[in-house]
Chains A and B, each alone.
Chain A
């Protein structure tokens, strides 16, 4: 078995074992932290499809994360206010059902990514980074000035949304849900990377002119990947909003984009479990270093600098070595 495969299994089991042990020892806070790791990792898996597989350096993925969060709020807020979601042109009530919210979040994220990607992918390099950043900030300021959902203060959803057969207010059950979604997303990402589409995407990333001469339109391939990426990050946003039972414009802020990107880089760009390793490291650093100093992000920055300079493949790359070409 390849070293990276072993490492992936260790990470998957570790992320499962820690909250189970914490639950047994009566430490629900750690269970919640593990849930946060799983959800941020999910957002990272989404970004990694664009960044790692497609080579699209998007500094606007907070847009999709936030779209997911606000989709949850838009659907769930009317229920707690005992109001319909809309009355015209037909009456529609909100929902507290997670599967429905997830589906809506993914559709909204995909549509957002389609619009943003269709325009941004006409540029490349540093312009692509800037234009995705600009779109993200546009949504951020829109959310701030949108009074119906709390404007700058955001909006609280007092009771966590439900999932058939589970008590989502129980931390360990909500963790199981987030973990299950993360594993499903990793499965999708794994299949995508090996598929014919994944190969076309690798070609479009490494050599767009060559790909076109082979009958592949790099723009269409990249846009499709961007849409899948946006949908996955939006799903993470919906879960994140449910974890906090709170949505605010900060989910859309460019700092959120930066954090998702940082955790992908920490873990290893284009590595399947890179975002999982990165999210775990990110949350660990936040809590350990955060205990020492308010300026923990300074140390995070130093760690990031070290990884970019000395460990190109991130945590996974350092531990598992260069990605071997598999036949």
Chain B
């Protein structure tokens, strides 16, 4: 059995009296998609923050490729291969698609302190960026300012930027949010392909996508993982039904 690429051990984080993350452990193995589901307010965002490095845990550890990164900041974790996408599309709106992705490529390579050479004249950076843009299906849109993109295109740009990090792990926060059915289907196919590049920790509300993609599913409720298993096991789990899936059906 290979060592997990990403491992979270007994993570705790409280905000005042609220235990947003209460003893969470989970792992992500090579080539797998591990979906994290849970109702609103379950602590998904806090957990992602702890994994990405935006938040520091009160206790517990985060390991990336077996290395303890609990004390590393966001930028250091990104360079170590942790690529995340954001719930709200968070691209630089005034920059073009190409500039956004070049920014990601040079960030990953630690080449952000080059003062004189024009970034876009660097053939090496540019070629890498073009490849990621093509992968995300945005080749025809590379000169468009990110702010002028349609919603689904922005999600693709998010993905192209995550790809640019040459990641060991993807942490994707609701990549389907706000997409139409066609967009969601295309994104599902793209993610299915992506898992061979690096495993994916997928936070998603679209249950069709989760059940189609996930190898394992963990259910987070009130800061705790109440169930973890294959799609079939989770569907059959009575506690999950009560805590989450039932409620979802009522909405």
Q: Among the listed stretches A12-20, A77-85, A155-163, A195-203, which one makes contact with chain B, having 4 or more residues with CB under 8 Å of it?
A: A195-203
Contact status A195-B118, CB under 8 Å: yes
Q: Among the listed stretches A124-132, A208-216, A260-268, A297-305, which one makes contact with chain B, having 4 or more residues with CB under 8 Å of it?
A: A208-216
A residues less than 8 Å from B79 (CB atoms): 215
Query: B47 contacts the other chain (Cβ, under 8 Å)?
Result: no
Q: Tell me, rounded to whole Å, the shortest Cβ–Cβ distance linking B205 to chain A.
A: 21
Query: A293 contacts the other chain (Cβ, under 8 Å)?
Result: no
**CA–CA, A216 and B103, complex, Å:** 9
Q: Tell me, rounded to whole Å, the shortest Cβ–Cβ distance linking B159 to chain A.
A: 13
For the residues of A in contact with B, the DSSP-based class is helix
Q: Tell me, rounded to whole Å, the shortest Cβ–Cβ distance linking A45 to chain B.
A: 16
Count of chain A residues near B, Cβ 8 A:
26
Contact status B78-A215, CB under 8 Å: yes
B residues less than 8 Å from A24 (CB atoms): none
Contact status B165-A214, CB under 8 Å: yes
**CA–CA, A210 and B162, complex, Å:** 10
Contact status A206-B116, CB under 8 Å: no
**CA–CA, A206 and B93, complex, Å:** 7
B residues less than 8 Å from A214 (CB atoms): 75, 78, 103-104, 107-108, 161, 164-165
**CA–CA, A214 and B75, complex, Å:** 6
A residues less than 8 Å from B76 (CB atoms): 215
**CA–CA, A325 and B96, complex, Å:** 7
Known: A194-B119, A325-B143. A215 touches B113 (CB 8 A): no
* B40-61 interface (Cβ within 8 A of A): 52, 54
B residues less than 8 Å from A211 (CB atoms): 103, 107
Chain A CB within 10 A, most for which of B79, B99, B165: B99
Contact status A207-B90, CB under 8 Å: yes
Contact status A196-B111, CB under 8 Å: yes
Q: Please, which residue of chain A has its CB at the minimum distance from the CB of B171?
A: A213
Q: Tell me, rounded to whole Å, the shortest Cβ–Cβ distance linking A101 to chain B.
A: 24
**CA–CA, A209 and B49, complex, Å:** 11
Q: Please, which residue of chain A has its CB at the minimum distance from the CB of B104?
A: A214
Name the one of A199, A207, A213, A224 contacting B74, with C-beta atoms under 8 angstroms.
A213
Name the one of B52, B142, B144 contacting A213, with C-beta atoms under 8 angstroms.
B52
- 8 tightest Cβ-Cβ pairs between the two chains A and B: A214-B107, A200-B112, A215-B78, A212-B74, A206-B92, A196-B114, A215-B107, A194-B118
- Residues on A facing B (Cβ under 8 Å): 191-192, 194-200, 202-203, 206-207, 209-217, 221, 224, 325, 327
What are 12 A-B interface contacts by the 8 Å CB criterion?
Answer: A191-B118, A196-B112, A196-B113, A199-B103, A200-B103, A202-B95, A209-B74, A209-B90, A213-B84, A215-B79, A215-B108, A327-B120
